[in-house]
Structures are given as C-alpha cells and as structure tokens.
C-alpha cells in the first residue's frame, strides 16, 4: 500500500490493476476494485470498519479494474463512463464464466475460490451513475473531477482529486511496465496524455506500476508512438498483420519494460493483439475510415 496524497492510497503489488482510495471526511471513495476476490473483501472490511465506502469509480472496463466490484455491495454507488456501463458484462466475462474463473483460482489463488459466485455476492455491480464527458462529485471536503479521456480503451476515465494533488488515470499510464495497446486508439491515447499533462497535479497514479510524476508522460507517449511507427512501416509496404506475426516481433525495441503484476501469462497473446489492433487502425486511418 502506497500513500500518494495526504488522504489517498494505492496498492501497487496486487495481481491486476492498482486499486486506490481516498479517505474523505464523509467516507471513502475508491478508484477501481481489487481483482482477486480475497483482496476485495479484505479491503472492504478494513475500510467499512472505519467509514462507509460512498463511491467506487471505474477507470476502464478491463477485468482487472472491474471484477472486484462484485464485493462492494453495501450502499457503495458505482460510477463509470456511459460506454463502460454498456460494455461492462461483456468485458467482465471476456476471460471465461464464473465456473472457469473458479477453476483457475484453484491453481492461482486458492484463498479466493470460495468467494467466486458466493451467494452473498450475487451482483456484478456495473456503474449505475454514469456520465458522458465529465462528472464532479463532492464528498466530505474532497472534490472528484471525473473526466472521460479515451485512449487505452474507449470509455477510459481519469479521476482528478485537487485537494490531494493526484490524478488516477487507469491504464492510460503504465509506469515502467509493459503498455497494453491491444484495443487502444493510439492517437486518442496521445491526446489523453496531453490532457493529463495539463492537469494541476503532483502525482499520477497509473493503472499499473509505481506512482509517478508528469515527467514520465513523455516516455509513455514515446512508447505509443514507437508502436505506431513500427506497424506503420509494415502497412506502408503492404505487409498484412498475419505476415508481421510470422516473424519475431521487435517488442522490446518499442517498449523496453517487462509485463507487470502477474500478467505474464498473457504476454504472447498481448503482442499478437497489439499488432492486429494497430495494423487495422492504421489501415483504416489511411483509407479515411476513421478509427471509431
Ligand atoms: Zn486496461
């Protein structure tokens, strides 16, 4: 657990994303939820021992940010961008059903097995409070400026807390661990990094990796640009995505960092998805079809 502001914390060593919370004078506000069920229930109990959890804000629809929502049930309102609400269940079950998840946990996290599909947690808890561009919540003495910043995913959201000097970006920032560009719009992502740069904050809490400062945003942008330039070189020579993937992909030349937080099992699949996503988006852009 890392303190990132006077009253705000993030956990950078869980399997999955960096779930975070701010302790206000009127209860807690969480940003994303712990991926592993046992981590989620431990968090909830420790917080609710002190104060109620008023809101849980999801920054994006990837499973490591939303699957713990199920364990935050007692009067916690879930907040998300309107597109996140629409795609919530599709993403939640993208890596299999509850039964498949339970079987996987028998190998990877035995403490969580009994909590998967437990009758006390019948709901998956998608966002019920949504917004298009921005939403401001005032909780106790804190302000939460919730801002749609598409990039890493279409509903991608940043949560700025001015009183803490902190912004929580989800996976628009991967700090010194492998960047996931498997479904991103890379040009929107670069624009989002500029928007984050313009915020009046000291500390950035990334989706993965240690908290960092604005100086890292340039490097994050460079990684996105490296990938786009690399794949564009193939597109310009008429090389298809399948053909690119027949040869070794020069991953570490585009992005030097190792894959973070127990995600190594998806390493090969990630490279495949990045190449296919960027290839299609670059082709579409050149054909004037837009990326949406
Ligand atoms: Zn993500």
From the CA of 93, how far away is ligand 1's center (Å)?
15
Beta bridge partners of 3: 9
d(CA 10, CA 1): 6
What residues contact 163, with CB distance under 8 A and at least 6 apart?
Answer: 5, 6, 7, 141, 142, 143
DSSP character for 260?
P
Q: How far apart are CA 21 and CA 140, in angstroms?
A: 14
C-alpha to C-alpha distance for 196 and 32, rounded to whole angstroms = 18
Q: Ligand 1 center to residue 64 CA distance, Å?
A: 7
Residue 212: Cβ-neighbour burial (10 angstroms; 0-12, 13-18, 19+): middle
* Percentages (nearest 5) of helix, strand, coil residues in the chain: 40, 20, 40
Q: How far is ligand 1, taken at its centre, from the CA of residue 180, in Å? A: 7
Å from CA of 40 to ligand 1 middle? 18
User: What would you measure as the largest C-alpha separation in the chain, in angstroms?
Assistant: 61
**pLDDT, one tens digit for every residue, the chain (292 residues):** 899 999 999 999 998 899 999 999 999 999 999 999 999 999 999 999 999 999 999 999 999 999 999 999 878 999 999 999 999 999 999 888 899 999 999 999 999 999 999 999 999 999 999 999 999 999 999 999 999 999 999 999 999 999 999 999 999 999 999 999 999 999 999 999 999 999 999 999 999 999 999 999 999 999 999 999 999 999 999 999 999 999 999 999 999 998 877 667 677 789 999 999 999 999 999 988 765 4
Q: CA-based angle 213:216:218, to the nearest 5?
A: 135
- The CA 179 to ligand 1 mean position distance, Å, reads 9
Q: Could you report how far apart the first and last alpha carbons of the chain are, in Å?
A: 37
In angstroms, rounded to a whole number, what is the distance separating the alpha carbons of residues 4 and 87? 30
Q: What is the pTM of this model?
A: 0.95
């Amino acid at each position: 657990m890392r303190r990132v502001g006077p009253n705000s914390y993030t956990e950078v060593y869980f399997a999955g994303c960096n779930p975070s919370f701010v302790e206000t004078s009127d209860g807690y506000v969480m940003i994303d939820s712990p991926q592993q069920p046992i981590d989620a229930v431990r968090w909830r109990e420790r917080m609710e021992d002190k104060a109620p959890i008023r809101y849980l804000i999801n920054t994006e629809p990837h499973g490591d940010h939303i699957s713990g929502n199920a364990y935050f049930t007692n009067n916690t309102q879930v907040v998300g961008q309107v597109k996140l609400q629409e795609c919530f269940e599709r993403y939640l079950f993208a890596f299999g059903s509850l039964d498949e998840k339970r079987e996987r946990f028998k190998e990877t996290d035995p403490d969580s097995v009994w909590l998967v599909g437990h009758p006390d947690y019948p709901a998956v808890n998608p966002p019920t409070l949504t917004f298009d561009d921005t939403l401001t919540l005032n909780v106790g003495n804190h302000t939460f400026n919730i801002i749609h910043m598409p990039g890493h995913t279409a509903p991608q959201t940043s949560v700025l807390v001015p009183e803490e000097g902190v912004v929580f970006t989800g996976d628009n920032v991967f700090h010194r661990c492998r960047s996931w560009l498997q479904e991103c719009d890379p040009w929107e992502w670069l624009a989002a990094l500029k928007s984050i740069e313009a915020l009046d904050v000291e500390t950035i809490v990334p989706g993965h990796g240690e908290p960092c400062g604005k100086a890292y945003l340039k490097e994050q942008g460079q990684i996105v640009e490296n990938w786009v330039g690399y794949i564009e070189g193939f597109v310009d020579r008429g090389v298809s995505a399948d053909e690119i993937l027949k040869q070794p992909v020069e991953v570490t030349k585009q992005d030097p960092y190792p894959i973070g937080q127990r995600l190594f099992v998806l390493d090969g699949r990630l490279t495949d998805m990045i190449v296919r996503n960027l290839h299609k988006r670059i082709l579409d852009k050149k054909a004037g079809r837009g990326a949406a």
